[in-house]
A = this chain, B = another copy of it.
Amino acid sequence: MITYTNPPKSSWNEILQRPLFDVSELESQVSLILNDIKTGGVDVLRKYTEKFDGVIIRDFAVQEQEFAEAIDLVDESLKEAILIAAGNIQKFHASQLPEVRRVETSAGVFCWQKPVGIEKVGLYIPGGSAPLFSTVLMLAIPAKIAGCKEIILCTPPDKEGKIHPAILYAAHLVGVTKLFKVGGVQAIGAMAYGVDCIPKVNKIFGPGNQYVMAAKQLISRGDVAIDMPAGPSEVAVMADHTANASFIAADLLSQAEHGPDSQVVLVTNSHDLVVKVESEIEKQLAQLPRKAIAARALANSQAIVLDSIEEMIDLINGYAPEHLIISMENYHQVAERIINAGSVFLGNYTPESAGDYASGTNHTLPTNGWARSYSGVNIDSFIRKITFQEITAEGIKNLGPVIETMAEAEELHGHKNAVTLRLDEIRNKE
């Protein structure tokens, strides 16, 4: 870690500069594949799957029997852990469902919002050596609670044309409607355009490599929405003398092991703590299987010592981290003043990994400073709030003249007339 002691405020932006994450360079390449998928259908899907995943897939849809087989293959202890995590995620996201509040804004004028699930959603789960079943839970559980009618999931097959059993188990558990063995840009294209048995969806969620991100951005210019823009994962830790150096080192390392471009920041008013954390990192790093990756991420990470808590809060709000751990004496008071962050972890016993897996909060969060304008994935991500209004004869008598005056001032006489005709009819009846 590079340590800065009381750097002037004017230098904060530069110190905390994120690496440029711009997928637009990949656009032309990704665009070609997307167009191919759009026009070529299932044969093209097969061609790209052979090319990128090294396997020929006859039937992209996972069959009932494959689910049944997978369920047998997952360790009982993992099944139990997934069940408990799913329960917590379910409880927290169900609590987010907005209730319908019917408001009488003027006498006889009633307005309300009704939350309605997005009809068809597509979830993307990347491949790789480790199965990201936790992301299956994080995306499919709120989709189900929101009432999405079709929840489809695409994930790349391995060289044998199979999906990891833990992914199949998690998807089956939480009610994914259909699962397809397809990954990368071709999966995003299939869900955006509808190919063969893979239906076109209204919104696509989930992480992925730069090509997947570029594909999501491109299709979002058409008629399919996406969850949010994404960049490398980040954690910032705010700590004072009450923090535990060993815990903090572990939290920083758990972020660093995600990838060499992971962002890791420690902000503290204790220079002592930085020294202890550094020494703890050295000790713990040696034990990690992914130490090479973590070491690369740490080489670009910052420890910033600031004398005042005021300044620590300012710096964090300016940086807008994806994850924020607050290990400070008065962490509730500090938390009250955090305005830019994705998910916040309070106190010494709340590691980021709790939120990554099982506390109940979502782990799909805004990176790259997007926490300034985006929320993490939550129940809102899977619903629309349709507004309704109902006006009685009495209501339009009250409010009609207001609408007429405003429409006339905006020179929209048709708008005015839609009110005038109704007022005339009511007067004629009376």
Contact = CB atoms under 8 A, between A and B. Distances in A.
Nearest to A129: B411
Copies of this chain, tallied across the complex = 2
B386 A341 contact: yes
A85 B106 CA distance: 9
Specify the main secondary structure of chain A where it touches its partner.
Answer: mixed
Contacts of A230: none
Contacts of A217: 221
Interface residues of A, number: 132
Nearest to A106: B88
B116 A339 contact: yes
A190 to B, nearest CB: 17
A380 B385 contact: yes
A425 interface: yes
B103 A360 contact: yes
B84 A402 contact: yes
Interface string A97-124: 0100101011001010100111100000
B378 A374 contact: no
A289 B380 contact: no
Interface stretch (A64-72, A152-160, A177-185, A363-371): A363-371
A99 to B, nearest CB: 10
A350 B391 contact: yes
Contact of A388 (B88, B250, B344, B403): B344
Interface in A127-155: 129-134
B113 A357 contact: no
A257 interface: yes
A390 B339 contact: no
B425 A244 contact: yes
Interface of A: 24, 75, 77-78, 80-82, 84-85, 87-88, 91-92, 95-96, 98, 101, 103, 105-106, 109, 111, 113, 116-119, 129-134, 166, 202-203, 217, 221, 223-225, 229, 244, 246-247, 250-251, 253-258, 284, 287-290, 294, 335, 338-362, 366, 368-376, 378, 380, 383-393, 395-396, 399, 401-403, 405-407, 409-419, 421-422, 425-426
